[in-house]
Structure 1
Amino acid sequence: MDLQAELDRLRERAATLGDTIQDMDYQMERAMHAVAAGTDDVGHAMTVLTERHNAQLGLMFDLGKVTAQIEDLEQRIREQGERSHEQQLAEKWEERAPDEDHLDWLRPTLEGPGTEAVQDERHPHHDGEKHMSEDIQRKGREPQDYLDWRKR
């Protein structure tokens, strides 16, 4: 059964439950008027009121469940419609998109001169380390000697 037919069935069930609840309201009101008019005894009217009230509470509970199912089904139908709309938009976008790679603008940078190691050598931080290392070696001291300046 498709979702729309299920939704129609649930709405019809909710309408039937609503009508039944209203009929019970009418029967309870009629029993109260009969007692007030003196045409019915109070014991019988109380039995009718209690019976109808309990039945009405059960029907109201069922109506609440059916209403929740209707809301859930409406939400699913709405999401399904939105999903198909989004899918159509995505398909249109894919049709308009070129067949080439979408990241072509990045390719010249990746294929450009120099690798990561070459780029690291040109970085000023690495140049400073290189000059410091050459300076230490020129003075004849080991790099570890510079770390021991507190011991002297």
Structure 2
Amino acid sequence: MTGLLDRWSKRKQQEQLNKPVEKAKAEDKAVAKASGTKKAEKTEAKVVKVAGKISDMANKVLVRPLITEKSAVMQSNNKYGFVVGRSATKTQIKKAIKEAYDVMPTSVNTINMDGKRVRFGRSNGRRSDFKKALITLPAGKTITIHEGV
């Protein structure tokens, strides 16, 4: 039963994602015909982006936003925290932020964090290591990372 509902909801989400793009393309074509140049049509079509779709590279680089009290305080200074892939470089992180949020960061600082040691009864364990990136945005630019939290 849930499989049918999942298919239905996924199909509905896809239709909603595709509708704005189709309307935007139709408007771009109308503008291009009015101006009479094909060059305008090509440049306008490249600007249109499907909301919620980013490349595989950006998905591998940006794991998730870092949501802590400290990162919430840092946002007032245009600094945002992200958990990133262990092998991600600063330039890759900059490109992924630009692609996902359409804002080019001014600087990226990275920190390799060791996982904490934990105990499960008598046995000892360890949480996995991760890499943290602190992104500084230009003045006046903001991104929303708290959607759906």
With normalisation by structure 2, the TM-score equals: 0.27
Going by fraction, where is helix more abundant, 1 or 2? 1
Give the structure, 1 or 2, with the largest relative contact order (CA under 8 Å, sep 6 or more).
1
